[in-house]
Chains A and B, each alone.
Chain A
Amino acid sequence: MTAFLLRRLALVLPTLFFVSIIVFGLQQLLPGDAALAMAGEERDPTVIAFLRQKYHLEDPLPVRYGLWVKGVLSGDLGESIRIKRPVRDLVLEKLPVTAELAALAVVIALSIGLPMGILAAVKTNSAVDYAATMTALWGRSIPNFWLGILLILLFSVQMGLLPASGFVSPVEGLSRNLSTLIMPAFVLGNAGAALIMRRTRSAMLEVLSADYVRTARAKGLSETRVVLHHALRNALLPVITLGALEFGELLSGAVLTEQVFTIPGFGKLIVDAVFNRDYAVVQGVVLCTALAFVLLNLLADLAYMLVNPRLRG
């Protein structure tokens, strides 16, 4: 276990190093003078001089990178030039909103994707299998921002059942919180459900033809017990890895979904920062999402090892 952890960490560190290079390198893409670009249209000489000094723009690139990494390691992600607040505080403030949205989306994705994947595998080439495949194709092809707009049209504009936009914190009222999040969570969960369905179906198909499943059937166990107790447990292993990989997709989707439903989360933070030319915020959000992704993958690998006795050694 310790050896596995050390090996896995040895792979994570260079990945994080290159993530830091990419995120730092983003600033170098700014056309022309970075200070001029960051100063906005006013181009106040005092602001430009301040930015040059603050971001050490006169220093050589490796020195600037070193200083930036030093700041990041001590928890300093820079300061928003528009809101005049530390990026770290902004990220920590928005994180719970996106986390709640993502958690709800995962619940929806699992509750649609898992049963459909199992049913499709158990009843291969049946109408259920066909319907599940169609659902997966739909989930893969529909742009989530359009699905969001359609849901608003139907449930908010036409039926008046749910609020079209905005966010209410769970502290202010759980039912109001859920009513603001249910549509965006469904939009986000829809694509995830398609992926989980496909993965569960193929994993279940593989497992259902294994010898131990045939043995379980030969013992006279009921089909439900064979499927749920013997097959599903092993078929779920690859779904765990998918869960971690799905996180990236979820965050990508959250950017657009939060924009459609005006939810003040991580996605809205980066989009607003882009339009305010608040590059430190953009860098901070990209860095934090990458860190979260790497850590989740690490946790998924550990979970995979814990639930799979063959890997425990």
Chain B
Amino acid sequence: MTVDTADIGFAELGERPWRLALCRLARRRAALFGLAVVVFFVVLALAAPLIAPFDPLATDWRLVRKPPSLLHLFGTDDLGRDVLSRVIWGARASLMAGLVSVSIALAVAVPLGLASGYLGGFIDGVLMRIIDAMLAIPFLVLAIALAAFLGPSLINAMIAIGIVQTPIFTRLTRGQALAVKQEDYIEAARAVGNPDRRILLRHILPNILPPILVQATLAIAAAIIAEAGLSFLGLGQQPPTPSWGSMLNTARNFLSQAPWMAVWPGLAIFSLVLSFNLLGDGLRDALDPRA
């Protein structure tokens, strides 16, 4: 007896899982919108020297706190600098913080989580207690403490955010590795004599990547907010280099005289974070249709 796969909804049978996921992602308009906005900000950050209408560091005492006009679309700040140019250049700090800190977290957490979940035993027990301890300290409180002890700078803020995000990824990787290692194909790989390292890298890792990818996208959003928060407190990007968080910190002092100073950098953070969240949610739905 032959079965028409199209009739029972298996038309996609035989397709590669990643291609299927991409097709599902392409059908989600919110996720595509998120992706488009993320790409827009990436282009903005990369092409900042070409796009920004003015030098983001150039001060002009004649232009102090000027409201938005045709020449300065987003107005000027307390030192007469063009807010639009600073918002464009500020995208660099935010995107870099998001990408670098999540990369740091992944580089540490994935090997640790894989080893912990696959090997189990005493090391797993100790590692999980360390993770519990790190998770017990509120995200931003630990990031502030780390940034404070390391010294205020964008690099240290990224390291601090990366360290703070490590336990989340370690726990996720461990949980996924624990679930996957029970599968028959892992048993089979072990039975034919594959060494542990090969099983971890060739058989387990590719199968646990989708949830890690989703978490990474959402973690970039959290890292962007955290970097903006640290810069807002003066622990991230140091002035005069533009960063959305430090721009908001300055704007706070001129709310009644120059409200536009507070609107644009905040709107930029909100748009970028919202886009990463939309993209992350879309990826989750695309990679795990049961979710």
Interface of A with B (CB < 8 Å)? 11, 14-19, 21-23, 26-27, 29-31, 137-138, 140-143, 145-146, 149-150, 152-153, 157, 164, 248-249, 251-253, 255-256, 259-260, 270-271, 273-275, 279, 282-283, 285-286, 289-290, 293-294, 297
Q: Are B140 and A255 in contact (CB under 8 A)?
A: yes
Q: Provide 17 A-B residue pairs closer than 8 Å at the C-beta atoms, listed in order of the A residue.
A: A15-B136, A17-B133, A18-B129, A30-B149, A137-B274, A137-B277, A141-B270, A143-B266, A146-B270, A150-B266, A252-B141, A255-B141, A255-B144, A260-B252, A270-B145, A279-B149, A283-B145
Question: A-facing mask of B91-130, CB < 8 A → 1, else 0?
Answer: 0000000000000000000000000000000000000011
Question: A-facing mask of B267-287, CB < 8 A → 1, else 0?
Answer: 001100110011001000000
Q: Are A141 and B129 in contact (CB under 8 A)?
A: no
Q: Are A143 and B139 in contact (CB under 8 A)?
A: no
Question: A-facing mask of B138-152, CB < 8 A → 1, else 0?
Answer: 111110111111110
List of B residues within 8 angstroms of A17 by Cβ? 129, 133
Q: How far is the CA of A128 from the CA of B149 in the complex (A)?
A: 47
Q: Are B138 and A285 in contact (CB under 8 A)?
A: no
List of B residues within 8 angstroms of A275 by Cβ? 234
Stretch from B15-23, B64-72, B192-200, B224-232 contacting the other chain: B224-232
Q: How far is the CA of A279 from the CA of B221 in the complex (A)?
A: 30
Quick one: closest B residue to A291, CB to CB?
B136
Stretch from B43-51, B73-81, B255-263 contacting the other chain: B255-263
* Contact of B132 with A by CB under 8 A: yes
Question: A-facing mask of B143-164, CB < 8 A → 1, else 0?
Answer: 0111111110000000000000
Q: Are A294 and B229 in contact (CB under 8 A)?
A: no
Q: Are A290 and B137 in contact (CB under 8 A)?
A: yes
Given A15-B129, A146-B266, A252-B141, check contact A26 B232 (CB 8 Å). no
Q: How far is the CA of A138 from the CA of B277 in the complex (A)?
A: 10
Quick one: closest B residue to A148, CB to CB?
B252
Q: Chain B contact residues: over half helix, strand or loop, or mixed?
A: helix
Q: Are B269 and A18 in contact (CB under 8 A)?
A: no
Q: How far is the CA of A273 from the CA of B139 in the complex (A)?
A: 18
List of A residues within 8 angstroms of B274 by Cβ? 137-138, 141
Of B145, B235, B256, B278, the residue contacting A286 (CB under 8 A) is: B145
Most buried by A among B133, B134, B141, B273: B141
Interface contact tally, CB-CB below 8 A: 142
Q: How far is the CA of A260 from the CA of B139 in the complex (A)?
A: 18
List of B residues within 8 angstroms of A145 by Cβ? 228-229, 232, 248
Q: Are B259 and A153 in contact (CB under 8 A)?
A: yes
Q: Are B266 and A29 in contact (CB under 8 A)?
A: no
Most buried by A among B142, B145, B232, B259: B145
Q: How far is the CA of A282 from the CA of B129 in the complex (A)?
A: 23
Given A19-B133, A248-B139, check contact A157 B233 (CB 8 Å). no
Q: How far is the CA of A267 from the CA of B149 in the complex (A)?
A: 17
Q: How far is the CA of A98 from the CA of B218 in the complex (A)?
A: 28
Q: Are A27 and B255 in contact (CB under 8 A)?
A: no
List of B residues within 8 angstroms of A137 by Cβ? 274, 277-278, 281
Given A143-B266, A143-B273, A270-B145, check contact A22 B137 (CB 8 Å). yes
Q: Are B130 and A143 in contact (CB under 8 A)?
A: no
Q: Are A289 and B141 in contact (CB under 8 A)?
A: yes
Q: How far is the CA of A293 from the CA of B132 in the complex (A)?
A: 11
Q: How far is the CA of A39 from the CA of B256 in the complex (A)?
A: 39
Given A141-B273, A146-B248, A153-B259, check contact A26 B146 (CB 8 Å). yes
**Chain B's nearest CB lies how many Å from the CB of A147?**
8
Starting from the known contacts A16-B133, A153-B262, 7 additional A-B residue pairs (CB-CB under 8 Å) come to: A31-B150, A143-B269, A153-B259, A270-B144, A274-B145, A274-B235, A286-B145
List of A residues within 8 angstroms of B132 by Cβ? 11, 14-15, 18
Of A273, A274, A283, A294, the residue contacting B136 (CB under 8 A) is: A294
Q: Are B138 and A289 in contact (CB under 8 A)?
A: yes
**Chain B's nearest CB lies how many Å from the CB of A97?**
16
List of B residues within 8 angstroms of A153 by Cβ? 255, 259, 262
Q: How far is the CA of A276 from the CA of B235 in the complex (A)?
A: 13
Quick one: closest B residue to A259, CB to CB?
B233
Q: How far is the CA of A138 from the CA of B273 in the complex (A)?
A: 10
List of B residues within 8 angstroms of A270 by Cβ? 141, 144-145
List of B residues within 8 angstroms of A18 by Cβ? 129-130, 132-134
Q: How far is the CA of A81 from the CA of B29 in the complex (A)?
A: 55
